[in-house]
Amino acid sequence: MAKDFEVQVLEAVTVRFAGDSGDGMQLTGSQFSNTTALFGNDLSTLPDYPAEIRAPAGTLYGVSGFQLHFSSLEISTPGDSPDVLVAMNPAALKVNLKDLKPGATIVVNENAFDAKNLKLAHYDLNPLEDNSLAGFNVIMVPLSKQTAAALEGLQLSVKDVERTKNFFALGLMYWLFDRPLEPTNAWLESKFGKKPVYLEANKRALTAGYYYGENTEIFSTRYHVAPAKLEKGSYRSISGNEAVALGFVSASVKAGIPLFLGSYPITPASEILQELSNFKNFGVKTFQAEDEIAGIASAIGASFAGNLAVTTTSGPGLALKSEAIGLAVMTELPLVIVDVQRGGPSTGLPTKTEQSDLLQSMYGRNGESPVPILAAATPSDCFDMAFEACRLAVKYMTPVFLLSEGYLANGSEPWKIPDVASLAEIPVNYWKDTETYHTYARDENLSRPWAIPGTPGLEHRIGGLEKAHIYGTVSYVPENHEFMVRMRDAKVKKIQDDIPDLEIMGDEDADLLVAGWGGTYGSVTEAVSNLRKKGYKIAQVHFKYIHPFPKNTKEVLSKFKQILVPERNLGQLSKLLKAEFLKNVIEFNKIQGSPFKSSEIENKIISLFGGENVN
């Protein structure tokens, strides 16, 4: 039966799966991602789903999407504009059409384009019939009917049959992009091993979709994206939230003390709590507290008693934790606070990404309350930065922020699995010596001793009231207060000596420096790389340490005539850079709940070059 199809070799493809929030698009997308990762492509994903769990079917606001960029080269973003859209219904088509590349391929479930769904999507005319999609390569597939045919004879409800159509679509995409079915079949075996009818149904739908591509002539071309030449090693696919969880477990192992997580579920941070709750055989204690405050308060208690304590949240939760963070600053206890940022203020955009909690982390407490701030750059970097946050917290006896964001947390990419032996040791030395102990004595790092309850002879009291230098008794002495305020500040600044310098990427002799932080890394890197290939001279730095800034920041910034700071807020890093280095920067801000497209940054850079194309 197999026909000869033209096989076109592509360097990179961006695919977006879109449907109702009940259509299983996140699952479909993540299955495609896993298979693609196993196939050896570099990849980056962008799940995009509504805050409502099951919005009414067929509506525009109920559309859930999963975008995936995969390549035979190294890539750093989930792709600007999809080459292929799989739209399960009219609403999914309508919501996503504006994002597509000109001439993109659109695979639609034609069975879903009935009067009711068209009306729900506010289409007066059927877009499949009114020629409005003329600029695209529209492939109409009777997805629902074909799935139903494939599942004939199985004891399944109409609803269950309908719910299986995403696997038909997945099978079809596997055929189109020349991917194997085995990884998804293996996953189905593990998922539905005890429910044979569902296993059979999903396998049948997947296979039927695959052969639908093979046996019909809807596509004249198949596409081949060769494996990427990644650095040698073992890889797995990892999301930012999974990476944070693994980073914490690793830090616990390397520190030789148990991990304690006090947390309250909140989108998009909950997966860290869920992941860590699996790791009980590592001695990991997860405490799902009654609220955000109890989450951090329990972690502070656990830290006082000697555990490696962490708390995880998102913006609104961070607001609730503010007072307790101040307590951790005052009591100088190690604690890592993960903020997986989302659109704000208030409840804001719970499922959308943003970078707008930087100033909250920096200043969102009463009094002079300095806390180190780290920001992860990519999903896999979340592992390194979670580990690093623990290292700094313990070494400097301080709370430490780790800023992630929805896009890193839910997005995934290949992760080169580190060699366990290569991970740094995190020395923990609980204080034991009763002769020399003072609660607020300080070592060369300005850290106070960690003397944990249960240690004979070191009974002491800590708390939120100002304490006397060295002795740690309550002190209202004015000079002591100023001394301690300055001491806490100096301690955090001292971390500068312990973190890497900023590294200038690209053209060191350029006039323009593009300075990103956190989750803008991918888009900025891709934009700078694309333009440099075209002959633009551009330098790039990326801030993963924001408080304190790397030691050479001032020197680096002084080298460039123009500094562009793209960030997804109203200029929070820009404000910090201007305030600390008296350096004018050009702000480039986007606050739309999604990452920068690299083309947006490219266009901004080109405009700074006077709009000239240097070619």
Partner 1 sequence: MSTNNVMENVKLTAKDFATNQDVRWCPGCGDYSILAQVQRVSPDLGIPKEKFVWVSGIGCSSRFPYYMNTYGFHSIHGRAPAIATGVKLANPDLSVWVAAGDGDLLSIGGNHFIHACRRNVDMKVILFNNRIYGLTKGQYSPTSEKGKKTKSTPYGSIDFPFLPVNMAVASGATFVARSMDRDPKHLQAMMLRAAAHHGLAFIEIYQNCNIFNDGAYEPLTDKETKADNVVVLEHGKPLIYGKNNDKGIRMDGMNPIIVDLSKGDYSVNDLWVHDEFDENPGRSFVLAHFADLKDFPTPVGVFRQIQKSTYDGDLFAQLDEVTKQKGKGDLANLFRSGNTWEVS
Residue 145 or 229: the one with the smaller Cβ distance to partner 1 is 229
Q: Is 248 in the site for partner 1 (CB under 8 A)?
A: no
Q: Give the DSSP per-residue string, 46-80.
A: EEE--SSSSPPTT-GGGEEEEEEEEESS---SS-S
Q: What is the DSSP letter of 222?
A: E
H/E segment holding residue 516 = strand 512-517
Binder to partner 1 among 46, 68, 246, 539 (CB under 8 A)? Answer: 246
Q: Is 460 in the site for partner 1 (CB under 8 A)?
A: yes
Residue 153 or 454: the one with the smaller Cβ distance to partner 1 is 454
Is residue 155 within 8 A of residue 195, CB to CB? The reply is no
Q: How far is the CB of 303 from partner 1 (least distance, A)?
A: 8
User: What's the angle, vertex CA 445, arms to CA 444 and CA 451, rounded to 5?
Assistant: 90
Residue 365 or 547: the one with the smaller Cβ distance to partner 1 is 365
Residue 40 or 364: the one with the smaller Cβ distance to partner 1 is 40
Residues 6+ apart with CB under 8 A from 31: 170, 183, 184, 187
Q: 15, 47, 32, 44: which is closest to 415 by C-alpha?
A: 44
Strands 137-141 and 63-71 turn out to be: unpaired
Q: Half-sphere exposure of 215 toward its Cβ, with a 13 Å CA cutoff?
A: 9
Q: Is 351 in the site for partner 1 (CB under 8 A)?
A: no
Q: What is the DSSP letter of 112?
A: G
Q: Which stretch binds partner 1 (CB under 8 A): 35-43, 161-169, 477-485, 562-570?
A: 35-43
Residue 17 or 304: the one with the smaller Cβ distance to partner 1 is 304
Is residue 50 within 8 A of residue 65, CB to CB? The reply is no
Q: Report 40-69 residues binding partner 1 (CB under 8 A).
A: 40
Q: How far is the CB of 420 from partner 1 (least distance, A)?
A: 5
User: Phi/psi class of residue 315: alpha, beta or left (left: φ > 0; alpha: ψ in -120 to 50)?
Assistant: alpha
Binder to partner 1 among 37, 139, 143, 377 (CB under 8 A)? Answer: 37
Q: How far is the CB of 254 from partner 1 (least distance, A)?
A: 9
Tokens of 367: 């009094």
Contacts with partner 1, 151-190, as mask; x by CB under 8 A: --------------------------------x-------
Binder to partner 1 among 102, 456, 478, 610 (CB under 8 A)? Answer: 456
CA dihedral sign, ordered 473, 478, 483, 484? positive
Q: Scanning the structure block, which residue is given the tokens 């259509």? A: 23
Residues 6+ apart with CB under 8 A from 119: none
Q: Is 424 in the site for partner 1 (CB under 8 A)?
A: no
Q: Which stretch binds partner 1 (CB under 8 A): 108-116, 141-149, 234-242, 403-411?
A: 234-242
Q: Is 394 in the site for partner 1 (CB under 8 A)?
A: no
Q: What is the DSSP letter of 537?
A: -
Q: Which stretch binds partner 1 (CB under 8 A): 122-130, 277-285, 370-378, 482-490?
A: 277-285
Interacting residues with partner 1 (CB under 8 A): 34, 37-38, 40, 183, 227, 229-237, 246, 249-250, 253, 258, 260, 262, 279-283, 285, 287, 289-291, 293-294, 297-307, 309, 323-324, 326-327, 331, 417-418, 420, 452-465, 473-474
